[in-house]
Amino acid sequence: MTSDAFLRDTTEDDLPIFFEQQLDPDANYMAAFTSGDPTDRDHFMARWTRIFEDDAIATQTILCDGHVAGYVASFEQFGKPSISYWLGKEYWGKGFATKAVLGFVGHINTRPLYARAAKDNIASIRVLEKCGFTICGEDKGFANARGEQVEEFIMRLGAS
């Protein structure tokens, strides 16, 4: 890693950058399970308004060298406490995701904690493994970004 990554509370000022990052077709393909139309700014803003209003969802912005690089979030998914993250493509492969996820889960006391990754998203699976997550199951679902069913790993951090 050539520089450092930090976490801070997410603000509305971060949203235009998040929106631009999620327009990248390669990033959408890797994430797989994305919104139906990543170009729909109104839908994007409405989703983030709901996130900000929901006390059960926590988000942190990832800063790399002072620039907004992405975010990490915790929420309930399929009845289980879960996390996900998004990192702008220009920040991939530099250790930022691992550092951000490690920092984020270090402040969450809930265990077990779950995450999901498309089976072919080797980089994301590796990030989660470096942060202590292990594969505990499999699932598949329709991935908007790919227009087809995609298999995914369910990963768990902590006791079952």
Rounded to 5 degrees, what angle do the CA atoms 151, 73, 139 make?
15
- Predicted pLDDT of residue 160: 57
Mean pLDDT of 111-117: 96
- Predicted pLDDT of residue 33: 86
Percent of the chain predicted with pLDDT > 90? 79
Q: Give me the domains of the chain, ranges plus CATH numbers.
A: 5-157 (3.40.630.30)
Q: Which pTM value belongs to this model?
A: 0.92
Structure tokens at 127: 């990030």
- Predicted pLDDT of residue 97: 94
